[in-house]
Structure 1
């Protein structure tokens, strides 16, 4: 599982991420305001699964499907799912954002993806936009991205600059992405940038709608 967070393992195989627990409530407040009351949501790169369980529990009208290419992550998601027994939380998919063969047919009402674009090769973001443009319900299907981004009009925070350096030292294909480059890629797949939300710890939520 690709993460820079300090992950701890619980006896039942679930993984616990301090960062996921810390940012879940702030992210949830934005998602609640923009997701439909009822519908289907696919989560890409779900990691430990703590966002999936928290959001599915908080929004019972949404049918939530987590996913991750890592077997370790999927085992953790399954363990959290078993603990909470939520009727609207589906088993995790073995989905690789860069591999179209692993994506379901759709359509879905929304896609949520946190902290993937910078901890993966650019091809993963390309795959995400390509497939989101295909599987999101039109018009109005929502793509929500969470994480740190570079912005031409905003000075990069020192903590984000150091984080970017650490990512590139770990893998030359990783690193903070330029927000407008991501938005341009989205536009090329029929997804219009509709909202930028400033989040704690120099993170952003970027919302895109299928047009």
Structure 2
């Protein structure tokens, strides 16, 4: 069985990794939410040897993730945890670094909300959360390719679509996170960096 492969992951991991080297400097334990194929986890664990990198995803994706781990073992890379943000219990550990890529526009909105709630509970004070993916600002998309991508997503599944930055940042604020950076990335993506500065708001 061939292991899963994402060309997008192969294309973007270098430029993302350069930023993670900076924003995750001095951190020790990282959780990746929605590890997908496993490519990012293997690459970033090797690039960030000071971090214990914990991948996670729905159970059905673990076979492919483990193929990547087995083909390219890295000492600081841990086996994937089962984490569906709507149905699974979050890991009991706390982390000072959390990362997710290309999840917010795929998950339904209640799952995005649940993800930020879990991040607020599991990210240590002073810890950093990074979210990578396309984003909408004041209802507008900044490139024809993102307009087309957003249309395809919504045609495939009504719950999918590129999210509004203001809505995402409000979830972060409610989780006790403060915006640090909103970085323009290749292929009309963003890498948004928050830091945990407060306890999450009670709903």
What's the TM-score, normalizing by structure 2?
0.93
In the TM superposition, what is the alpha-carbon distance from 1:154 to its structure 2 partner?
Answer: 6.3
Query: Where do 5+ consecutive residues of structure 2 fail to align?
Result: 198-203
Classify the secondary structure of the residue corresponding to 2:58: coil
Classify the secondary structure of the residue corresponding to 1:24: helix
In the TM superposition, what is the alpha-carbon distance from 1:198 to its structure 2 partner?
Answer: 0.2
Write the distance in 2 (CA, Å) between the matches of 1:128 and 1:98: 8
Aligned equivalent of 2:18: 29
Cα gap change, 1:98/1:185 in structure 2, threshold over 3 Å: closer, same or farther? same
What's the TM-score, normalizing by structure 1?
0.89
Write the distance in 2 (CA, Å) between the matches of 1:130 and 1:26: 28
Aligned equivalent of 2:53: 64
Write the distance in 2 (CA, Å) between the matches of 1:70 and 1:18: 22
Write the distance in 1 (CA, Å) between the matches of 2:196 and 2:86: 20
Aligned equivalent of 2:98: 111
Query: Where do 5+ consecutive residues of structure 1 fail to align?
Result: 1-8
Write the distance in 2 (CA, Å) between the matches of 1:169 and 1:33: 38
Classify the secondary structure of the residue corresponding to 2:170: helix
Alignment RMSD (CA, Å):
1.4
Which of these residues, 117, 137, 141, is aligned with residue 127 of structure 2? Answer: 141
Aligned equivalent of 1:81: 69
Contact 2:27 2:97 in 1 (8 A): no
Contact 1:157 1:202 in 2 (8 A): yes
Residues paired across the two proteins, number: 197
